Structure 1
Amino acid sequence: MGACDRNCGLLSGAIIGAVLAILGGALIPIGDFLINKTIRKEAAIENGTIAYENWVVPGSPVFRQFFFYHVQNPSEVMNGSRPNLKQIGPYTYRMRYLPKENITQHSDYTVSYFLPNIARFEPDMSVGSENDTFTCINLAVVAAPAMYKSGLVQIFINTLIKSSNSLMLQNRTVKEILWGYVDPFLKKIPFPMERTIGAFYPYNGTTDGLYRVFNGIDDISKTALISSYKNKSTLSLWDGYCDIVNGTDGASFPPFVKKNHVLQFFSSDICRSIFGVFKEERIVKDIPVYRFVVPPAAFASPLVNPDNICFCTEKVLSRNCTSAGALDISACKEGKPVYVTLPHFLFASKDITENIEGLYPDMNEHETFLDVEPTTGFTIHFAKKLQVNLLVTPSSRIETLSKIRQPYLFPVLWLNETAIIGEDKAEMFRSKVSTPIKMLHLLEAVLIIVGAVMFLGFMVSYFICRSKKLK
């Protein structure tokens, strides 16, 4: 082969390499365009799309693990001492495994639905049975001062409490604490009222909603965002922007999620919208995800996070709203003094934690997180963790509460609601979404790298040959 032919071959190889590199670079915007086009079509909540199929029925089983607080020093507590609690659990229930109900598409690009509430006990995933008994707070008695504020009424209530042999603490089963029992004290109240009480009563056989969310057909950036809840865009519980129903229901978010996004989601359990911030990249069942977590700022004191000032309504536990880590939700619990916190008072201020013994907050164990696939916005794995507490207040007119020294939060239980995408759904997701995207990005990288190496290699060889020829 002559020098000219050799040089031409080297130049041809360099040109081919350059073409491959340019083709790889060109595939980036073209590939992004194709991905965006496909996602915009498949992420809308419309019959026939991937999103709709995963939206109607949960893509993975949803479980709630309940951990109960057993009072180990009941006599001392009723005499004014700090409770010493022992966590017992989990007691696991399968939740939200039924399809959404009354799904209706509307002309304004929204879709409405109800979420059916149902819980099925899973003994194989629990430490005991629903009939296990604990010493716990008496929900009806402790709530009495908040429900009946008049001094004369409290004197009357005290006679009913004593005649029913009710005390500040009681022994109840898992099933009773969660789903309700007929309280002996409430049975004696001589006017019509609900006699059944429980941490989640009523639940089974009820529905959550009506939800109305944007379907994304006209604007993909609004997909799954809540338009209204129970036909309102506000809750009528809080002041200002705290009262607005923001974000999605947490099952999915608008596609193309970025790390700097703040993901808003509404939780009817805590009667408010809350938010998650990016923490880290993870892999869940070979699907790359972004993990978003609920940060301390979500429950921080208004002194730390001024945005929380409109969540401050309670005047007993913290008169000047300087406490952190607890949210008074009595307004949406018919006046019952219910507070929600993170488990074991995670991120709570000292004035809340110092009144209870036996709690051990651990961020890794008690943190709420959502693992979101960023291209589609689908939540692949999540764990929502909340603690239910009752505010205990002294009452000189109610004998069993008369020895309480100061108001404090008494933990009842905490829950871990979790789900991870099932194998069938994960395989479908990998085949239709993550693997094609991964292969496209791999092809882009291979073309750019191979093309660049070819171009540089052949060009170097060409100049070497050319320099030898000149000599």
Structure 2
Amino acid sequence: MGQIINGSLVIVGLLLIIVGGVILGIFPTILKQKVSEEMAILKDTDAFDRWKETPVPVYMKYNFFILDNSDNYNSLNDIVLKEKGPYVYKETRIKQNISISLDWEHISYREKKTYEFVPEKSCQKCKEEDYVNVINFPLLGILFNEKFKTFRTTINDTYTKAAKNNTLKPYELEIFLNESVQNILFKGVHYNLMDELNNNLLIPFKLPLLDPNYRINDNYTVLEEEWTINTGKNDLKKLAQIERFDYKTSLINDDMKTYIWNSNPEDVLDSEDCNKLRGTDAELFKPFIDKDDVLYVYEPQICRTVYFKYWKESSVQDIDTYRFRIPQEYYASPLKVKGNMCYCIKERKDNKECDRSCTLDISRCWRRSIGAPIIMSAPYWVNGLHNGEDLRKQVGNKGLTSKLEYNDENFDTYLDIEPLTGITMAAHKRMQMSIEVKGTDSIPLLKKLFDSKANQSYIIPVFWIEEVAEADESQADKFKSMVTNKKKLAIGLSIAAIVLGVILLIIAIVLMYRQRRTGKKIV
């Protein structure tokens, strides 16, 4: 009887170990197959519903660089800027005007974004009606406009004449603009100069009509340009990859002639790559992400593809994720990283502007800058040359300082991605907008610009923004029920079977050992 029991224990133990091992071995394959079936953006699927309406709450945090010595500065050399914010807005996204190809391989849409001010997440006692005194970037953007530089004399003459005729508003005669947050961001600030330029018959039709009501966003409700992406139906590696933006297949302006990034003959290979549409919108990537993957995101705000590399392991709501960030070479000087050369749009590539790190001149991205010398970067130029210290020092005579430590956690852009599904569980996208101007005597009305050092380049920041999106508890629970809990259950049962099998084998061995020592059969 004892031998029968021992034999049964051995057989059952071995079976449990084998079954547990087999499950552990084949479960990843089964799970991958299941994920593969559920991730493509197809009709009547959960993936389509998740894609259509962003389930993760998104918040936009605006931090303005305001003039702190408005009563006693004489030029750009002695301004003092300090940060004020954040002014936080909740952004609600939903995809509209959805058009799907007959084979369900391509899908086109426009995304509707709605903004709502959130006082409890904003700085203490901050209201969107607050006035902030920032560099007058709409005015200076026209006066130093690269796209309209052949008309610059006419523009300056029009400006001077309008001032003499008292048709300009007081803030149109100053290099700093004191205006409310809501007007700068959403409602608009009216510039009579734009009306004057639109009505000036000396300016050729090549100069497009300028919206006199200038603001960063079109309104509290914005309908973005059309995206066309791959659904991943036939190839999950192409899941959510952009194929067209604003009906274009490359980064080209609306004249369909001017590429946004450098297209000089010696750079033709680089320019083709730089002007290529590539990446997703950062909400979703291909499944089965590896640590050595390079992930691409198309960012319409800067008309450029951004790439991310693995940084470290992380977690969001107890969901294991990989943290990917923008690497330092992305911000490097074009003279130091050849692949960045096409992003220096200056006429001469050996000048000092091309040797700057962590600055991106988007003046040739007309849909965003209208030709104004807008400079995009990481906040405080962190990750630039000497970690941006040189650029912070050039702001006024005291430089620019932050209350936060200059590190990647505070100022870099990173994504926390669940590697099995490729879903972004959390995102921190940070970007700073500045304007580049020069001391000049060609605009005598702006005395404080006239008194600045002649032809010296000044990069003056307007604000930096942080886009924060993170899965909340309810969204995390849904994801866990879909993927994580099943994975943990299968692994747990497999390990339990193996452990139980080992225990049964140990019991059988102990019983056999005792039986041999006593020379008796155990009943």
Shorter-chain TM-score above 0.5: yes
Change (3 A) 1:354 1:24: same
Change (3 A) 1:467 1:247: farther
Q: Which of these residues, 174, 181, 190, is aligned with residue 189 of structure 2?
A: 181
- In the alignment, structure 1 segments of 5+ residues that lack a partner are none
**Deviation of the 1:199 alpha carbon:** 5.0
**Amino acid across the alignment from 1:392:** V
Change (3 A) 1:390 1:49: same
**Cα distance in 1 for residues equivalent to 2:370 and 2:237:** 36
Of the structure 1 ranges 103-112 and 380-389, higher mean CA displacement relative to structure 2 is found in 103-112
**Cα distance in 2 for residues equivalent to 1:307 and 1:353:** 26
CA contact (8 A) 1:139 1:198 kept: no
CA contact (8 A) 1:323 1:351 kept: no
CA contact (8 A) 1:294 1:367 kept: yes
**Cα distance in 2 for residues equivalent to 1:408 and 1:402:** 13
Question: Cα deviations across residues 329-355 of structure 1 (Å, max 9, x unaligned)?
Answer: 111122111111111221122442321
Question: Cα deviations across residues 76-127 of structure 1 (Å, max 9, x unaligned)?
Answer: 6542414321111111112233x20011221351111111133222233223
* 1:334 has 2:341 as partner: no
**Deviation of the 1:297 alpha carbon:** 2.0
Q: Which of these residues, 95, 99, 103, is aligned with residue 100 of structure 1?
A: 95
**Cα distance in 1 for residues equivalent to 2:211 and 2:243:** 35
Structure 1 residue aligned with 2:267: none
**Deviation of the 1:463 alpha carbon:** 6.2
* 1:169 has 2:176 as partner: yes
Change (3 A) 1:43 1:77: farther
**Cα distance in 2 for residues equivalent to 1:418 and 1:216:** 27
CA contact (8 A) 1:23 1:447 kept: yes
**Cα distance in 1 for residues equivalent to 2:245 and 2:7:** 67
Change (3 A) 1:366 1:198: farther
Structure 2 residue aligned with 1:323: 356
**Cα distance in 2 for residues equivalent to 1:209 and 1:250:** 16
Written as runs of structure 1 = structure 2, the 5 A alignment for 1:365-380 is 365-380=410-425
Structure 1 residue aligned with 2:122: 126
The percentage of counterpart residues that share the same residue type is 26
Structure 2 residue aligned with 1:352: 391
**Deviation of the 1:267 alpha carbon:** 1.1
Change (3 A) 1:76 1:185: farther
**Deviation of the 1:260 alpha carbon:** 1.7
Structure 2 residue aligned with 1:446: 496
Structure 1 residue aligned with 2:255: none
**Cα distance in 2 for residues equivalent to 1:286 and 1:94:** 24
**Amino acid across the alignment from 1:220:** L
Q: Which of these residues, 256, 265, 282, is aligned with residue 288 of structure 2?
A: 256
Question: Cα deviations across residues 27-63 of structure 1 (Å, max 9, x unaligned)?
Answer: 1343123212221221111132221121111112211
**Cα distance in 2 for residues equivalent to 1:56 and 1:214:** 14
Change (3 A) 1:435 1:393: same
Q: Which of these residues, 43, 65, 71, is aligned with residue 61 of structure 2?
A: 65
Q: Which of these residues, 291, 298, 322, is aligned with residue 290 of structure 1?
A: 322
**Cα distance in 2 for residues equivalent to 1:347 and 1:198:** 31
**Amino acid across the alignment from 1:69:** F
Structure 1 residue aligned with 2:461: 411
**Cα distance in 1 for residues equivalent to 2:78 and 2:19:** 71
Q: Which of these residues, 224, 229, 232, is aligned with residue 208 of structure 1?
A: 224
**Amino acid across the alignment from 1:337:** P
* 1:393 has 2:438 as partner: yes
CA contact (8 A) 1:225 1:247 kept: yes
TM-score by length of 2: 0.82
Aligned CA RMSD, in angstroms, stands at 2.7
CA contact (8 A) 2:191 2:214 kept: no
**Amino acid across the alignment from 1:177:** I
- Residue 386 of structure 1 aligns to a residue whose secondary structure is strand
CA contact (8 A) 1:141 1:161 kept: no
Q: Which of these residues, 308, 318, 323, is aligned with residue 276 of structure 1?
A: 308
**Cα distance in 1 for residues equivalent to 2:156 and 2:109:** 46
CA contact (8 A) 2:379 2:411 kept: yes
- Residue 225 of structure 2 aligns to a residue whose secondary structure is strand
Structure 1 residue aligned with 2:341: 309
Q: Which of these residues, 402, 410, 425, is aligned with residue 450 of structure 2?
A: 402
**Amino acid across the alignment from 2:495:** A
Question: Cα deviations across residues 417-464 of structure 1 (Å, max 9, x unaligned)?
Answer: 111223333222121221111211222233334434544664576468
**Deviation of the 1:140 alpha carbon:** 3.0
- In the alignment, structure 2 segments of 5+ residues that lack a partner are 201-207, 253-259, 262-270
**Amino acid across the alignment from 2:425:** I
Change (3 A) 1:281 1:454: farther
**Deviation of the 1:379 alpha carbon:** 1.2
Change (3 A) 1:362 1:19: same
CA contact (8 A) 1:40 1:220 kept: yes
CA contact (8 A) 2:411 2:430 kept: yes
Question: Cα deviations across residues 341-372 of structure 1 (Å, max 9, x unaligned)?
Answer: 11122112244232122333342221212111
**Cα distance in 2 for residues equivalent to 1:199 and 1:64:** 16
**Deviation of the 1:316 alpha carbon:** 9.1
Change (3 A) 1:27 1:403: same
Of the structure 1 ranges 313-322 and 256-265, higher mean CA displacement relative to structure 2 is found in 313-322
**Amino acid across the alignment from 2:384:** A
- Residue 59 of structure 2 aligns to a residue whose secondary structure is strand
Q: Which of these residues, 459, 462, 486, is aligned with residue 436 of structure 1?
A: 486
CA contact (8 A) 2:189 2:215 kept: no
Structure 2 residue aligned with 1:141: 139
CA contact (8 A) 1:139 1:197 kept: no
Q: Which of these residues, 39, 52, 75, is aligned with residue 35 of structure 2?
A: 39
**Cα distance in 2 for residues equivalent to 1:373 and 1:209:** 28
**Amino acid across the alignment from 2:182:** K
